[in-house]
Amino acid sequence: MQRERFRVFLLIRGRTMKRLIKYITKEFSAPFFMGLFGFIVFVSVQLLYELSEIIVKNHVGFDKLLLLLWYNLPYFISMGIPVGVLFSIFWVVSRFTNDNELIAMQTLGVPTRKIVIPFLLISIFLSLFTFYLYDNLVPNSNYKAKQAMAKYIYEKPEATIEDNEFVDLGDDRYLFVKELDRNTGILYELLLYEVAYDNVKVFHAERAQKYPDGWKMENGRIYKMKDNGFLELDVSFDSLDLNIAADVEEFINFSKGANEMTTRELKEKIITFSKLGSNVSGLIVSYHNKFANSLAPLVIAILGISLSLFLNIKSKSWSVITTFVLVVLYQGSGAWITALGKEEIVNPVLASWLPNILFGSIGILLFILLDTKISYKVTEPLKKFFSIAIVVFIFSIGSTGYSEKVNIKANDFNIFNNTITIDSTLTINYQDTIVDAGSGKIVLREDNTVKFAELTNGVKYQYEKNTIEASQMTINYETDTALFLNSYTIQKYKDNEKVSVRIWSEETEKPINDDIIFSNRIKLTTCEDNITYYMSARKVTVFPKKFLIARDVVLDFFGMPVFYFPFYFQSLAEDEDEPLKLVLKYEDNKINVNVGINYTFENNSKLKFNYEIINDLEKNSFDQSSSFNYGFPFLNGEFSIFSNLYNETLTSLGLQYDFDFDGNLKAQHSPSSNKQQISLNIPELKTNYGTIEDIKSQIIWKERTIDFVEFYSLSTDAFQKKYKRSIISISDLDFNAKSAENSNAKNDIVEIWQNRISNTELEGKYNLYSNNSSLSGNFNYDRTKVATKVTQDRLESNNKFNYKYNAFSYNINDFNLDNYINFTSNFNHKLDLIEQSEYSFGKTYFDLNVKPQIDFKYNIFKAGTYLNFRKVFENNLTPSATDQISYGDFIGYDLNILNNNLKNSILLERNFLYKNEDLHLSFLDRFDLDSLNINTKTELSILNTRHRIKTDTKFDVEDDENIKLEKTSIEISNSIYSYDHKTKFEIKHQEEPKIEYLENTETFKFSRNKIQIDYDYFLSKSLWKEKIPKIEANYNFYFNNNKLNGSLLINDQYNHIKTENKFIQQNSQFFVELDLEHYIEEKETKSSIQIENSDESEFGKFGIKYNGITKDFSFDVFEIQKKIVCWTLNLKAYSPNNTNDPALTLLPNFKVSGFSFTFFINYIPDKNVKYSDQGFEFGLM
């Protein structure tokens, strides 16, 4: 009491507001920082919790998390200041009340309203500080926090969009931007691809930029292509939302969100986008929110101090609870009303200020009522109401929970004794399961935890990716079991979305913690709508995604029982993962039973067992075989023991280690042959430089005598290392060694190694580049050794070095002059490492070429000249290559007139060789002309037509006194509206005929339709079929959005005609292929017709053959497959033993070589009944 009296004494003695402010400020500080710190800790933990999965997945370091929290700290502080103010007010006032300081102040003449003033002054100061944070520190820190989130948490680069590059946006969407302006944030010429399994959408826009209501593409088109090649949609648009999974700013990192902008930046954005006519309500809300949120400490202070004084709160616990409730109401209502403002449901300006107006008005009203008669009358009822409201609020924002593990959500319920009755929809969350029902009853234990639940009316039970629907369900939380009455569930067949096994059950039981379902009195089918069959069973056990087993099964067709099975097995997993495989078949007069077990234990060890029985009724034989394999994880792979038996004879027993990649190391003993084997087999080993294939090593021995040794074997076709443009690659490598077949060394492995047969083949190339130089070449090494004798051992290498030295370059207006020197050196070498071989002493070619060159260009004219000096330092490899000096020049022009409608160019090239060493001659006269070429090109565009002619003429310069034309290659092309023509031919000036044939291509285009005809025209032939002996045509036709692709071939002087056609109808699941081939002289016609749907589940295939001489009419191929509701019928005629006999002959005599009639469940061909010329087969079980 002395402490309280001393405080009051100070207040009375000072009689000044200064002392009161100082005292309350001192009392205010500690709880304020306590509340602020608690809020920061809470939101930090919440942030890390929301990111926990991605943090663990991306292995984010602790220092990066601290950096993220540091960047978010200013925002957390600005949000937490109102929380700290409210908490501090309730804390201080409750202490004043408990210590009777309020009563003492009032007794000594200090009115209650005067106590409010220090709190208001503190809150005004904090409001100004909050505005400083919101308008200065928070925008920049939020922007850095977003960057840190993208870079360190989500591991996204700061800028992934570059000019002329594709960006993967996720969800099979790809963005291409031709040009990106990072200053304005505008994307130019963009393409957005959306790839689905049955169609592709392409969005093309001239530009895209961000507006307040999101990103928009402008002036573009949308194309949608089906998987059959048809264009399904072609629409233009002026403006379209650019909706992608992530915000575009995450990819280009230039734009700021509203929380990353200051008030000045926001105001500029509002003015700019308002002028553009865009919706700026979101920006207006964000702009005013900065001011409204800054006043939150003042508004909260008015409400908090008024409410605390009005209710006279004494408990610090109630202070904490009341703070929590008011903060949730204030910030929650603010977020909700702000969202309404952004959608313009509420005025955007008003939406930002409504929470402050509402809560501030309540605080002012309570402040006015302080120390009035009304306050004393309503205080006690208001206290009771406020306490109840807080309890109801806390109860309502959480779930109605009755235990730690069970979470129940319901809108309406009644509680009587230990039973909760729910007559409305409810949801139960327990462990990893979700249950929805229309009504239910919950029974509690004495400790108010849930004992069991009885649910009715549309029960839906979900766990993992499976769902069970039922009319009634009982969950026993003591035994963790669920019982369903009249249930229905769907199980997928081997992850095939097209096949679903539907199961109805009168009674189903499922342990909640185990992935297994027990059902009694069930029906199952794979039919979807019209159920033509179902299997009734007494009991079914389902292991989801693994298999199901049914007992006492009756197969019903159209409601009539037709067959009884003692059991039925259906795998639901992929073949290699099948936990249980059960096959019972009758085919080829044989009964086959195959049982397989594939079980994985909790320690990840695996047991695989397979047992097969084959009873050949025709031969009266009975064979059985079994295999056993048990493996467990070891190092990075799996170690296993295996054995195989055949008719009670142990055929193999061994140990095997499987690597974590495709490959194994195996030790095997075969008692039946008394052989042992140790082998290493790696079919494919992928590295950073390529793939090494067929890595093998093995040894086989019998009775301590070695039969065969393969020491090593490996190969590769593409093994390379790249660095920028440079590359070193091995295009072919074979490396092996094995024991000789006739080796007499059966026990000495060293001697076997010495007498081995080994082969090494290595072939590769390299290209190395630097700024102005390059080094390239190829190499080959081949070595074969048999025992101690090397039969082949050759090394070959060809290398070339090139360096370009730019001497000078002069450019002014239309005049260009370039001078440079090319240095080239060739080094080729062949070496046989075997004595007395062709290249035993090695043969080498080594030269150096220096080629100075000058290029000149002025306006349309161009010319150039060069000298090439070749010095051969050594050459015993290619004797024809000697020292040489050559000179070359070129001259020509490029003419372009009439606005590019007329183009003409000519280039004359000459090359001279230095041959005459007569010193009396001038230097240039010592050169003889070696080659002379003239190239011309002329293009003319007129009246929407284009015409072009190209020529390449080579001259015979063997006699420089009599230079003659040798050969001219000519290409003529014409494009006249929808018609294109191209002709190519050669004129051999010194031969007869000078022109042998013309190579022609005719193309006709109209809309999307196209016909292309290729043929050669021989000028010297007399008959038409000799002039054009072969015609090839390809065509694409579209009509009514249907498509026809085809080709036509006429050859063998028109004796052979062949056409291939494929017809695709829009919105049809089927396509038709029709091929026709006819031989006129032989009078033989072949035709192939195929009708097939997209998933190949239905088709008709017919290969027809008719001979006009023998009048034979037959089918090489005859097969029809058609779905009948949920079954598939397959009818097939075939030629036994793959002979050339026709499968089906109609004329002159009817004959079927072989046939089969198969009836199987849709998309499950293993479940079938088959009848053929070989007998009856049954494989439904």
Residue 245 confidence (pLDDT): 44
Highest mean predicted confidence (pLDDT) among 9-13, 22-26, 80-84, 848-852: 848-852
Let me know whether 248 and 348 are in one domain.
no
- Of 1086 and 600, more confident: 1086
Let me know whether 142 and 165 are in one domain.
no
Whether residue 304 has pLDDT greater than 70: yes
- Of 666 and 236, more confident: 666
- How many domains does the chain divide into? 5
Q: Nearest-5° angle of CA 783, CA 789, CA 794?
A: 25
Let me know whether 81 and 196 are in one domain.
no
Query: In whole angstroms, what is the distance from residue 283 CA to residue 290 CA?
Result: 11
- Mean of pLDDT over the chain: 80
Residue 1136 DSSP one-character state:
G
Contacts of 576 (CB under 8 A, 6+ apart): none
Let me know whether 132 and 204 are in one domain.
no
Let me know whether 184 and 100 are in one domain.
no
The share of the chain scoring above pLDDT 90, in percent, equals 20
The answer to whether the peptide bond before residue 1148 is cis (omega within 30 degrees of 0) is yes
711 part of a folded domain: yes
Query: In whole angstroms, what is the distance from residue 699 CA to residue 353 CA?
Result: 86
Let me know whether 93 and 165 are in one domain.
no
Query: In whole angstroms, what is the distance from residue 840 CA to residue 831 CA?
Result: 6
Whether residue 158 has pLDDT greater than 70: no
Amino acid at 435: V
Let me know whether 322 and 382 are in one domain.
yes
Whether residue 83 has pLDDT greater than 70: yes
632 part of a folded domain: yes
Per-residue pLDDT of 1097-1147, as tens digits, reads 788 888 888 877 777 888 888 888 888 777 788 888 877 766 667 877 777
CB 87 within 8 A of CB 94: no
Query: In whole angstroms, what is the distance from residue 765 CA to residue 768 CA?
Result: 10
105 part of a folded domain: yes
Residue at a domain's end among 631, 657, 683 = 657
Let me know whether 315 and 387 are in one domain.
yes
Per-residue pLDDT of 982-997, as tens digits, reads 999 999 999 988 999 9
Mean pLDDT of 296-320: 69
Nearest in space to 505 (alpha carbons), one of 527, 492, 524? 524
Per-residue pLDDT of 1030-1075, as tens digits, reads 999 999 998 887 889 999 999 988 899 999 999 888 777 778 888 8
Residue 578 confidence (pLDDT): 61
985 part of a folded domain: no
DSSP string, 644-659: EEETTEEEEEEEEEE-
Per-residue pLDDT of 653-708, as tens digits, reads 999 999 988 899 999 988 888 889 999 999 988 888 888 889 999 999 888 788 88
Q: Which domain holds residue 688?
A: 675-754
Let me know whether 10 and 114 are in one domain.
yes
Let me know whether 315 and 347 are in one domain.
yes
CB 910 within 8 A of CB 924: no
DSSP string, 824-842: EEEEEEEEE-STTSTTTT-
596 part of a folded domain: yes
Whether residue 68 has pLDDT greater than 70: yes
Let me know whether 347 and 376 are in one domain.
yes
Residue 402 confidence (pLDDT): 38
Pairing verdict, β 419-422 and 414-416: antiparallel
Residue at a domain's end among 657, 684, 709 = 657
- Of 327 and 361, more confident: 361
Query: In whole angstroms, what is the distance from residue 999 CA to residue 109 CA?
Result: 117
Q: Nearest-5° angle of CA 991, CA 995, CA 997?
A: 135
Report yes or no on whether pTM surpasses 0.85.
no
Query: In whole angstroms, what is the distance from residue 434 CA to residue 409 CA?
Result: 11
Query: In whole angstroms, what is the distance from residue 393 CA to residue 602 CA?
Result: 46
Write b or e for each residue in 469-496: b if 16 or more Cβ atoms lie within 10 A of its Cβ, otherwise e.
Answer: bbebbbbebeeebbbbeebbbebbbeee
Per-residue pLDDT of 367-396, as tens digits, reads 777 666 665 555 555 544 444 444 444 444
* Percent helix, strand and coil across the chain, each to the nearest 5: 25, 50, 25
Let me know whether 25 and 144 are in one domain.
yes
648 part of a folded domain: yes
Residue 782 confidence (pLDDT): 92
Mean pLDDT of 441-447: 81
Query: In whole angstroms, what is the distance from residue 572 CA to residue 493 CA?
Result: 5
Q: Map 235-267 to HEC letters.
A: EEEEEEECCCCCCCHHHHCCCCCHHHCCHHHHH
Mean pLDDT of 772-800: 90
Q: Which two tokens stand for residue 1054?
A: 């028109």
Per-residue pLDDT of 269-294, as tens digits, reads 777 666 545 567 777 888 888 888 88
331 part of a folded domain: yes
507 part of a folded domain: no
Whether residue 715 has pLDDT greater than 70: yes
The answer to whether the peptide bond before residue 381 is cis (omega within 30 degrees of 0) is no
Mean pLDDT of 45-67: 74
Residue at a domain's end among 342, 368, 397 = 397
Which burial class, exposed, middle or buried, applies to 648 when counting CB atoms under 10 A from its CB (0-12, 13-18, 19+)?
exposed
Residue 870 confidence (pLDDT): 92
Whether residue 478 has pLDDT greater than 70: yes
Q: Which two tokens stand for residue 390?
A: 């807080």
Residue 981 confidence (pLDDT): 95
Query: In whole angstroms, what is the distance from residue 526 CA to residue 506 CA?
Result: 18
Confidence of residue 84 (pLDDT cuts 50, 70, 90): confident
Whether residue 16 has pLDDT greater than 60: no
Mean pLDDT of 152-160: 55
Mean pLDDT of 64-80: 81
